[in-house]
Structure 1
Amino acid sequence: MTGQLTPAGPARAPARDGQFDHLRLEGVCRRFGDRLVLDGLDLHIAGGEFVALLGPSGCGKSTALNCLAGLLPLSGGSIWLDDRRVDTLPPERRGFGMVFQNYALFPHMSVRRNVGFGLRMRGVARVRARERVDEALRLVQLTQYADRLPGQLSGGQQQRVAIARAIVVEPPLVLMDEPLSNLDAALRLDMRTEIRRLHQSLGLTTVYVTHDQEEALSLADRLVVLREGVVQQIGTPEELYRSPANPYVAGFMGYRNLLPMSVVRGEGGYATARGDGIELTGTAAGTEPGRDGEGIVAIRPEDFVVGQPPTGEDNRLDVVIEVVEYHGRELSVQARLPSGQALRLRTPERVARGETVSVWVPRGRVLVFAADPS
Structure 2
Amino acid sequence: MATTPHAFETLKLTGLGRSFGGHAALAGLDLTIRAGEFIALLGPSGCGKSTALNCLAGLLPLTHGTITMDEKRIDTLSPEQRGFGMVFQNYALFPHMSVERNIAFGLQMRKVSRSETKRRVTEAIALVKLEAHAKKLPGQLSGGQQQRVAIARAIVLEPSLVLMDEPLSNLDAKLRLDMRTEIRRLHQSLGLTTIYVTHDQEEALSMADRLVVLREGRVQQVGTPEELHTAPVNWHVADFMGYRNLLDVTVTESGAEGVLVSNEDLHIRGTAVGGVTPGGAARLAIRPEDLRIASSEDTGDGLIVAEVAVVEYHGREFSVGATAKSGTTLYVRSELAPQPGDKVRLRVDPARALVFAADLDAAGEPVAQTALAGEAAT
Task: Output the TM-score relative to the length of structure 1.
Answer: 0.93
| Cα distance, 1:373 vs structure 2 | 3.5
Alignment of 1:242 onto 2:245: no
CA shift for structure 1 position 16: 3.4
SS in 2 for 1:284: strand
Amino acid at match of 1:49: E
- Who is 1:219 aligned against? 207
Overall identity of the aligned pairs, in %: 60
Partners of 2:25 and 2:217 within 8 A in 1? yes
The residue type paired with residue 321 of structure 2 is: Q
Shift of 1:143: 1.5
Aligned to 1:365: 352
Letter in 1 for 2:170: N
**Match for residue 142 of structure 1?**
130
Structure 1 distance, partners of 2:117, 2:265, is: 70
In structure 2, do the counterparts of structure 1 residues 313 and 206 end up closer, same or farther at CA, with 3 Å as the change threshold? Answer: farther
Shift in Å at residue 309 of structure 1? 5.3
Are residue 196 (structure 1) and residue 184 (structure 2) matched?
A: yes
Answer yes or no: is the 8 Å Cα contact 1:247–1:372 preserved in 2. Answer: no
2:312 is equivalent to residue 325 of structure 1:
yes
| Structure-to-structure mapping, 1:54-65, within 5 angstroms | 54-65=42-53
Corresponding residue of 2:172: 184
- Deviation of 1:310 (Å): 6.8
Q: Which residue of 2 aligns with 1:126?
A: 114
RMSD, matched Cα: 1.7
Q: What displacement does 1:83 show?
A: 1.8
CA contact 2:37–2:193 (8 Å) conserved in 1? yes
1:325-345 CA-partner distances (Å, limit 9, x unpaired): 222222212111112221111
In the other structure, the counterpart of 2:244 is 256
Following superposition, the deviation at residue 18 of structure 1 comes to: 5.1
Please state whether the residue corresponding to 2:212 is helix, strand or coil. strand
CA deviations 1:55-113 (Å, max 9, x no partner) are 00000000000000000000010001112211101101111000000100001000000
Following superposition, the deviation at residue 39 of structure 1 comes to 0.5
Q: How many angstroms apart in 2 are the aligned matches of 1:242 and 1:297?
A: 15
Counterpart of 1:110? 98
- 1:300-359: CA deviation from partner (whole Å, max 9, x where unpaired): 111121142577788311110112222222221211111222111121111111111112
- SS at structure 2 position matched to 1:116: helix
Mapped contact 2:6–2:35 kept (Cα < 8 A): no
Within-5 A mapping of 1:221-370: 221-268=209-256, 270-285=258-273, 287-289=274-276, 292-308=279-295, 315-370=302-357
- Tell me: CA distance 1:21–1:201, structure 2 relative to 1, closer, same or farther (3 Å): same
Kept after mapping to 2: 8 A contact 1:282/1:368: yes
Structure 1 pair 192/269, CA: closer, same or farther in 2 (3 Å)?
farther
SS for the counterpart of 2:93 is coil
CA separation in 2, counterparts of 1:97 and 1:113? 17
1-structure distance, mates of 2:351, 2:278: 25
Q: Partners in 2 of 1:197 and 1:310 — Cα distance?
A: 49
Matched to 1:288, the amino acid is G
TM-score normalised according to structure 2 size: 0.92
- Tell me, what secondary structure is at the counterpart of 1:315? coil
What SS does the aligned partner of 1:17 have?
Answer: coil
Cα distance change, pair 254–277 in 1 and its aligned pair in 2 (3 A): closer
Of 228-237 and 360-369, more deviation after overlay is shown by 360-369
8 Å Cα contact 1:29/1:76 also seen in 2:
yes
